[in-house]
Amino acid sequence: MAFVLELPGIFGRQQHNIIPLLSSTCTSSSTTTTTTTTTTPHSIYKPDATTFTRLKQRRFIRAMNKPIKCSLQEVKMESSPVSQNLGLPTIMVNGCSGKMGKSVIEAAISAGLHVVPVSFGRLDDSRKTVQVGGKEIQLHGPTEREKVLSNVFDEYPNLIVVDYTVPSAVNDNAELYSKIGVPFVMGTTGGDREWLYKTVEDSKVYAVISPQMGKQVVAFLAAMEIMAEQFPGAFSGYSLQVMESHQASKFDTSGTAKAVISCFEKLGVSFDLDDIQKIRDPQLQVELVGVPEQYVSGHAFHLYNLTSPDETVSFEFQHNVCGRSIYAEGTIDAAIFLAKKVQSKAEKRIYDMIDVLREGKMR
């Protein structure tokens, strides 16, 4: 018999087997000592010392097997120092009023990271507050960005900024992060990507920039990169069709689709990005693409079809994601990865999610 004590905490349920020794002791006692007690129908049962000990042990085990409840509040005081000892970063999530920003904050809290209660918002969001994951986050407009970020970085030197704003803010935000020198994870797609990379490279700051934050999709992209590097021109002459479907609130073309197309181009395929079939209409997403209705407001479906010149051979690559948790978890992995790069004084450069994957830093 083994008793398992379960303690809920911010790192999940922890199990501790606390009485294997007791269990083995009981077994040893019962196997090495044999006691026979004979009673008459009206005699009073008086257990000997060995049997009495055995009865007490059984009662103790039964009592201990009753569920033990510990509140999160009781555990929290012991969990906080553990988080600090692990060197987990403090993060600031810009764009926290959006669905992706909210998902990242919830994932950060679940992982034991400290979330700064301030965030960049739109001009009309200035001085507003939003409730996310039980925290009250103060929003600041564009005119306050530099002062707010400087103050936060001074207070939290281990700060990692996570950006899930809008495509039109990508370049301005990246310039600000680079100017102040704060490490950041750019989860927002769109903007002028060449300008983005040049800005960050010239400033020599730590950054993770990737069109895709989902762990498993990153692995697929890594496989595509390897295939493109090792077998250039393998699909020369093939035609390519690309369809990508996302929630209507996603204005730009999928960065993941662009990355996959880049790999196909290295493999010998000619393709114009303007030919991507971009679907944002909810009705078409359900009826044509096959998106479950409950995920119309948050999904990423991709289909890549390759056809040989004589149309006798075809290949299809497909990956479908419902919800946002896969991206939020990957973003937290990227933030932890970047924090460790800072702590180890690694090279200040732009990393991507393939770097994170290759180092095995995904939880």
Which active-site residues does the annotation give? 246, 250
Max CA distance (Å), the chain: 99
Q: Of 200, 202, 222, which is closest to residue 338 (Cα–Cα)?
A: 200
End-to-end CA distance of the chain: 33
Token pair listed for 156: 């939290």
Q: Which residue has the tokens 């030197």?
A: 157
Instruction: Name residue 14's beta-bridge partners.
Output: 7
Distance CA 239, CA 323 (A): 31
Is 332 in contact with 111 (CB distance < 8 Å)? yes
Query: Which is nearest to 89 in space by CA: 149, 158, 157?
Result: 158
